[in-house]
């Protein structure tokens, strides 16, 4: 037979909210359920505030010239893609102009 946890308090998001601290949460009681919920809420909070992305970006130092080179390579790739797409569109494409009286 399964155990039922009827005496467990239902916790809402505001129970974990710590005013003025986007990197922290409070754990309302000592139950493992509350701790798991608090961890879940903390992860969501960090994801929403982009804190985790900044921490991951600081893991490794990237030289400014390397960043610039990567940005230039990305811009070149995007431009080449745009050119390929425009060539496909223009190759064998019939342009029509719709006017008030129909196609010309």
CA distance 5 to 11: 14
Q: What pLDDT is stored for residue 68 in this prediction?
A: 97
Q: What averages of pLDDT result for each successive group of 10 residues across the chain (104 residues)?
A: 63 81 82 86 83 82 93 97 87 72 58
Q: List residues bridging with 99 in a β-sheet.
A: 102
CB atoms under 10 Å from CB of 34, counted, come to: 18
In 3-state terms, what secondary structure has residue 24?
A: coil
pTM of the model: 0.44
pLDDT at 83: 93
Which pLDDT value is given to residue 66? Answer: 95
pLDDT at position 65? 97
pLDDT at 30 (0 to 100): 83
């Amino acid at each position: 037979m399964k155990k039922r946890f009827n005496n467990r308090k239902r916790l809402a998001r505001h129970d974990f909210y710590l005013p003025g601290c986007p990197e922290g949460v409070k754990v309302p009681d000592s139950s493992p359920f509350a701790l798991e919920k608090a961890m879940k809420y903390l992860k969501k909070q960090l994801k929403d505030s982009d804190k985790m992305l900044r921490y991951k970006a600081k893991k490794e130092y990237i030289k400014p010239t390397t960043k610039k080179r990567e940005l230039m390579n990305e811009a070149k790739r995007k431009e080449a893609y745009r050119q390929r797409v425009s060539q496909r569109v223009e190759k064998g494409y019939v342009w029509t102009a719709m006017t008030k009286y129909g196609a010309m």
